[in-house]
Structure 1
Amino acid sequence: MKNTLRQMINDDIGFEDLTTNALISPGIKARSEIISRQSGIIAGVDVAKVIFKDFNLKCSSNKEDGDIISKGESILNISGSARSILTLERTVLNLMMKMSGIATLTSKMVEKARSVNENVKIAGTRKTTPGLQFFEKSAIKFGGGDTHRFRLDDCILIKDNHIALLGDLSLAIKKARKNVSFTKKIEVEVENLEDALLAANMGVDIVMLDNMPPNKVKLVITALKENNLRDKIIIEVSGGITPDNLLDYAATGVDVISMGFITHSAPSMDLSLEILH
Structure 2
Amino acid sequence: MTVTAHRPQLPVLMIEDQVRAALIEDLGRAGDITTYATIAPERTATAAMNSRDHGVVAGIELARCAFRLIDPTLHFEALVSDGDAVSPSTALARISGPARALLSAERVALNFLMHLSGIATYTSTFAAEIAHTRAKVCCTRKTIPGLRALEKYAVRLGGGSNHRFGLDDAVLIKDNHIAVSGGVAEAVQAARAYVGHLVKIEIEVDGLDQMRAALTAHPDVILLDNMGPDLLRQAVAINAAHFRLSPADYPSDTRRTRLEASGNVTLQTIRAIAETGIDYISTSKITMAAPTLDIGLDIVIGV
Q: TM-score, normalised by structure 2?
A: 0.87
Q: Which position in structure 1 is the counterpart of 2:260? A: 236
Q: CA offsets, 1:200-244, max 9 Å, x none?
A: 221111111111111111111112222226641111101120011
CA contact (8 A) 2:185 2:216 kept: no
Matched, 1:42 2:66: no
Partner of 1:71: 88
Residues of 2 paired with 1:2 and 1:164: CA distance?
42
Q: Residue deviations 1:35-85, cap 9 Å, x none?
A: 001111111112212222223122111100000111101101112221121
Describe how 1:143-158 pairs up with structure 2 within 5 A. Answer: 143-158=158-173
Which of 26, 34, 41 is 1:12 aligned to? 26
Give the counterpart letter for 1:202 in structure 2.
Answer: A
Q: 1:84 aligns with which of 83, 98, 101?
A: 101
What is the distance in 2 between the residues matched to 1:152 and 1:64? Answer: 31
**Identity level (%):** 38
TM-score by length of 1: 0.95
Equivalent in the alignment of 1:112 = 129
CA distance in 2, matches of 1:14, 1:224: 57
Q: Secondary structure at the match of 2:232?
A: helix
Once the two structures are superposed, residues 95-135 of structure 1 have per-residue CA deviations (whole angstroms, 9 ceiling, x without a partner) of 111111111111111111123x1x21111111111111122
Shift of 1:26: 2.4
Structure 2: any 5+ residue segments left out of the alignment?
A: 1-14, 245-249
Alpha-carbon offset, residue 259 of structure 1: 1.3
Tell me the secondary structure at the aligned position of residue 130 of structure 2. Answer: helix
Partners of 1:40 and 1:70 within 8 A in 2: yes
For 1:179, the aligned partner's letter is: Y
Task: Select the residue among 274, 278, 287 that pairs with 1:263.
Answer: 287
Deviation at 1:170, TM superposition (A): 2.0
User: CA offset at residue 263 of structure 1?
Assistant: 1.2
Inter-partner Cα distance in structure 1 for 2:99 and 2:182: 62
Residue 117 (structure 2) aligns with: 100
* RMSD of equivalent CA atoms: 1.4
Is the CA contact 1:114–1:250 (under 8 Å) kept in the aligned structure 2?
no
Partner SS for 1:140: helix
In the other structure, the counterpart of 1:203 is: 218
Aligned residue for 1:218? 233
